[in-house]
Amino acid sequence: MPRSRLAEAVREISARHDVPVFTIAHAADGNPHPIIVVDPALGGLPDAVWEAAGAIFALALRLGGTLTGEHGVGVLKRQWVAEELGPAAHAVQRRIKEDLDPRGILNPGKAL
């Protein structure tokens, strides 16, 4: 499947997991910006959300895309970034984060 069909595949993943997902920006180049809609009253993310996110990010990487571009890595994508970067590059990014923020107070819970 070409990366240009990523948005279409995300719609299929959304339907399969019964989780509303919208993609914006540059999904065609393999950098999906999924907006996964969750009821804030739930107080957490249901398993279906994590499963849908995992399927979206795995597909993006399989197609030669990326998890992130200019926005960095937040809470949802954090657990997949090591797979994309590989162990050496991931370790360098973690060291940079630790050096710049040794007390972990800048954007807590996020990655570079």
Express each pLDDT in 9-33 by its tens digit.
Answer: 889 999 999 999 988 766 566 677 7
Whole domain around residue 85: which residue ranges? 72-112
Q: Kindly give, in sequence order, each residue whose CB lies less than 8 Å from that of residue 16, ignoring residues fewer than 6 positions away.
A: 52, 55
Same domain, 57 and 108: no
C-alpha distances out from residue 13 to 4, 7, 9, 36, 95, Å: 16, 10, 6, 11, 34
pTM for the model stands at 0.75
Same domain, 24 and 62: yes
Could you give the number of structural domains in the chain?
A: 2
Same domain, 56 and 82: no
Query: How many CB atoms are closer than 10 A to CB 39?
Result: 7
The pair of structure tokens assigned to 48 is 């279906």
Same domain, 49 and 2: yes
Same domain, 53 and 4: yes
Same domain, 61 and 104: no
> Is pLDDT larger for residue 111 or for residue 95?
95
Instruction: Note the pLDDT of residue 91.
Output: 92
The mean pLDDT of 32-42, rounded to a whole number, is 85
Give the tens place of pLDDT for each residue, 55-87.
988 888 888 878 776 666 777 777 888 888 889
Q: Kindly give, in sequence order, each residue whose CB lies less than 8 Å from that of residue 17, ignoring residues fewer than 6 positions away.
A: 48, 49, 51, 52, 55
Same domain, 32 and 61: yes
92 pLDDT exceeds 70?
A: yes
The mean pLDDT of 37-62, rounded to a whole number, is 90
Instruction: Note the pLDDT of residue 57.
Output: 87
